Amino acid sequence: MTDIEYSYAVLDILEQLQENIRKRDNLKREARKKQTEEAATMAMLFSLIIPATLLIIFVIIETTDLISVATFGETLDNPYIVIVGILLLCSSFAVYSYLFVMHSWRQGWIKFGAKRVKKRVYQAMNDQKNEIGLELKNILESSLLMHSRIPDKFLSVRSVTFLIRTQESNPEMTLENAISKLEQDIKNKDSAHVLLREDELSMIERERQNRYLNFLAEIFE
């Protein structure tokens, strides 16, 4: 395998890694969305309890005469005013109850219900998580990345693309010379692309530090 072929092979697996990162980010967004939807459903059900209870109480009062109608004032003689008043009251309770539950969810005040929701969402997405995690494990443990001729700090799509272009522009240049040129460019800060700062971790270094097999854990903690 020539140096340029080797560089293209490394680029290909780094693009697979980049795609895997995209899949993980999408799954995280989907997990957060599902949690919010579950919380919204729970809040909706809870918000209907108080209005329904009030409505039932009112119906009981009206049908059993537990409280004299006269005590509420003469306006209760008009059934339309009564109906509108009850609907407004129930709607207000429903809206404020929904907003309160959603606010409590975001603030982490709801412990028991939140744990159940998170557990249900996590289990539903577990197969996808395992598939993406296994794919990532295989990428990181591939020989091209485990025993790479390119230093870890340059194992990113942008840096390897630069190495390829450098070699293609000068067919006589070896991979090692292209790496030296890249190091010099970064050190002198005279390259227009500015691929990597000296104190910045490359994509592969960041991935090796991550708990990639359970990347959804941070969402459900």
**pLDDT, mean of residues 104-122:** 70
Q: Maximum distance among all alpha carbons in the chain?
A: 102
CB contact at 8 A, 179 and 151 = yes
Statement: residue 57 has pLDDT above 80: no
* pLDDT at residue 198 tops 80: no
Kindly report, residue by residue over 123-157, the tens digit of the pLDDT: 788 888 888 888 888 898 899 988 899 998 888 88
Two tokens at 185? 């460019």
Is the torsion defined by CA of 164, 166, 170, 175 positive or negative? negative
Residues 152-174: pLDDT tens digits? 888 888 889 989 999 999 888 89
What is the residue-averaged pLDDT of the chain? 77
Q: Domain extents for the chain?
A: 3-220
